[in-house]
Amino acid sequence: MNVDTIAVIGAGLMGRGIAHAAATGGYRTLLHDVSAEALDRALKQVVADLDEGVGRGKLASADAEAARKRLAAEADLDRAAAAADFVIEAVPEEMDLKLRVFARLDERCREAAVLATNTSSLSVTEIAAVTRRPARVVGMHFFNPVPKMKLVEVVRGLDSAPEAIDATVEVARRMGKETVVVRESPGFITSRVNAMIGNEAFFMLEEGVASARDIDKALKLGLNHPMGPFELVDLVGLDTRLSVLQFLHQTLGEKYRPAPLLVQHVKAGRLGRKVGRGVYDYPGKD
């Protein structure tokens, strides 16, 4: 399948990073958002990120300039959809909203276009079912910050066709990403393993196996993790981690039951760096 034009729907944290990767990957890229302000902010941020890439010697300035020229804002969803060979949706994580967006995309996009969702947890199969092209709907799970993170989890829904998966792997490759293909399943690979490690760390802390600092130190120096589990959960947000674990517990069973100490931290308002205190305190940040 030949992909020239990618439409990215939703220009928030993830959408703007995906647009950055698509434009540097050589695609004509149309970025759409319902909010004119978000769209404007996103375009400015992509330009700033491209400049930063040049500054850090990661990108030649001619390539950054070419990428900037390939990227355009499109305030009209129907026009973005009609022009695209491949669509990547990055609107907020709400099923009703995603279903509305996909029904509209399905109406407006060419028959051959592949529709990808960047959902972190929702069912690709359920999203595909509102379209008349479930074989051409896939998951494409990027990581934040998109321009720097290497992996994309390509998610196969019940009806996703091999050609649509192949096209998605190829788009990710041209964006400079590595891929893994996963069958739709709660938490895919990364969130499931990560939630499990993070939860186990809370159980160990609760049992008094070691201090938080030493558990972090052990995983960094002994297992070569770039961050310890408590440093990481403070960055991600303890409330976000708890809701992932609750979802895995509901869908995959008992071994994902959230550790009581994690639940207590959330009840105490210890939500992580964003509020100035999580497992650790961040003085001056609240």
Smallest distance, ligand NAD to C-beta of residue 151, A: 11
Smallest distance, ligand NAD to C-beta of residue 204, A: 26
* Nearer residue to ligand NAD within complex by CB, 38 or 197: 38
Which region, judged by CB under 6 A, interacts with ligand NAD, from 9-17, 54-62, 67-75, 78-86?
9-17
* Nearer residue to ligand NAD within complex by CB, 212 or 245: 245
Q: Which residue is nearest to ligand NAD (CB)?
A: 12
* Nearer residue to ligand NAD within complex by CB, 15 or 147: 15
* Nearer residue to ligand NAD within complex by CB, 79 or 203: 79
Q: Check residue 101 for interaction with ligand NAD (CB under 6 A).
A: yes
Contact assessment for residue 97 and residue 90, using Cβ atoms and an 8 Å cutoff: no
The residue whose two tokens read 């960094």 is: 220
State the number of binding residues for ligand NAD (CB under 6 A). 24
Among 31, 81, 90, 271, binds ligand NAD (CB under 6 A): 90
In angstroms, the Cα distances linking 191 to 34, 37, 280 are: 29, 31, 22
Among 1, 5, 26, 38, binds ligand NAD (CB under 6 A): 38
Q: Check residue 92 for interaction with ligand NAD (CB under 6 A).
A: yes
In angstroms, the Cα distances linking 141 to 16, 172, 279, 281 are: 14, 10, 28, 31
CA distance 76 to 95: 22
Among 3, 6, 7, 14, binds ligand NAD (CB under 6 A): 14
Smallest distance, ligand NAD to C-beta of residue 259, A: 22
Q: Environment class of residue 132 by beta-carbon count within 10 Å: exposed (0-12), middle (13-18) or buried (19+)?
A: exposed
Q: Which two tokens stand for residue 45?
A: 């941020």
Q: Where are the beta strands (DSSP E) in 15-54?
A: 28-32
Smallest distance, ligand NAD to C-beta of residue 223, A: 23
Q: Check residue 204 for interaction with ligand NAD (CB under 6 A).
A: no
**Which DSSP state fits 156?**
E
Among 27, 86, 102, 142, binds ligand NAD (CB under 6 A): 142
Q: With DSSP H G I counted as helix, E B as strand and the rest as coil, what are the percentages for the chain, rounded to 5?
A: 50, 15, 35
Three-state DSSP class for residue 85: coil
Q: Check residue 12 for interaction with ligand NAD (CB under 6 A).
A: yes
113 backbone dihedrals φ, ψ, rounded to 5°: -65, 145
CA distance 197 to 39: 36
CA distance 231 to 281: 11
* Nearer residue to ligand NAD within complex by CB, 27 or 142: 142
Q: Check residue 91 for interaction with ligand NAD (CB under 6 A).
A: yes
Smallest distance, ligand NAD to C-beta of residue 221, A: 27
9 backbone dihedrals φ, ψ, rounded to 5°: -105, 115
Smallest distance, ligand NAD to C-beta of residue 247, A: 12
- Partners of 32 in the β-ladder: 9
* Nearer residue to ligand NAD within complex by CB, 53 or 187: 187
Contact assessment for residue 196 and residue 204, using Cβ atoms and an 8 Å cutoff: no
Residues near ligand NAD (CB under 6 A) are: 9-15, 32-35, 38, 90-93, 97, 101, 118-120, 141-142, 144
